[in-house]
Amino acid sequence: MDKRDLPLDVSAVSISIETKRIVEDIHLRVEPGEIVGLIGPNGSGKSTLLRSVYRMLKPEAGYVRLGESDVWKMSARESAQHTGVVVQESASDFEFTVNDVVMMGRTPHKGLLELDSPQDEDIVVAALRRVNMLSFANRYYGTLSGGEKQRVLMARALAQQPKLLVLDEPTNHLDIRYQLEILDLVQHLGLTTLVTLHDLNLAAIYCHRLYMLKAGHIVASGSPLEVLTPHNLRDVFEVEAFIGKHPTRGHLQLSFCAIESLTEKINLERGL
């Protein structure tokens, strides 16, 4: 089976932190090569759910499978061979070069104390080139901007040659050009991808399907057109949404205003 042919299945997953239930009975599936987005307000459980997928927070109930394999029955090394992760927290600013950070993505594929091979070096160069950071290879990671660091972490994930990408706000700290470049890259990789995004317009453009979370529960799922409805956005994000079409891509495009602002506008128009 080609590495791009593995689906992700999350079934009946529930997670608590200390005594608080964060996510409850979550079911979702990402088909091979599909980009699926998790959306929801802050505190809805998106990042917690992702942590169960990349083996940082074990579910109390349910399972997470990549293909036929339960990820929680894999070794840490095997999991790292299968899953590339980019999270919101940046790597620490120790004195590593960009090349060093991206080379860390090759660690799961090497034996203890095994040196970097010419193949490893070629993979790292290719990963840096794909995120337009090859010219930064000898810069120290700690000297980079937030957006540059995010692109390096994306390159590190690509260097793992994963079967699954798990991305927690991959466009965080990026200006709009690099937001589009990173998501264009993800789109063209063809890998099974689970991603959280705050920008709902980016989610509408790049995600094949969406799962909308509220207070740890999935309240809507389906295509962006099915999920990003005015009713759902009012209920979950507490905003009024206006639905249009992107002028060049043809995708759903959203505009928002606060519910209070719209009410005030209507009252003014009515002379109230």
Tokens of residue 118, six digits: 């010419």
Q: What are the pLDDT digits (tens) for 45-75?
A: 999 999 999 999 999 999 999 999 999 999 9
Q: What are the pLDDT digits (tens) for 78-127?
A: 999 999 999 875 556 568 999 999 999 999 998 777 888 999 999 999 99
State residue 20 phi and psi, 5-degree precision. -100, 125
Three-state DSSP class for residue 138: coil
Minimal CA–CA distance to 22: which of 63, 54, 50, 64? 50
User: Tokens 């590339």 sit at which residue?
Assistant: 84
Chain centroid to CA 238: how far?
23
Q: Please state, in angstroms and as integers, the Cα–Cα distance from residue 101 to each residue in 72, 119, 148, 186, following that order.
A: 26, 17, 13, 20
The third-level CATH classification (topology) of the domain covering 3-269 is Rossmann fold (3.40.50)
Q: What are the pLDDT digits (tens) for 248-268?
A: 888 899 999 888 765 555 555
> How far apart are the C-alpha atoms of 185 and 128, rounded to whole Å?
12
Cα-Cα-Cα-Cα torsion 73, 79, 83, 87, nearest 10 degrees, comes to 100
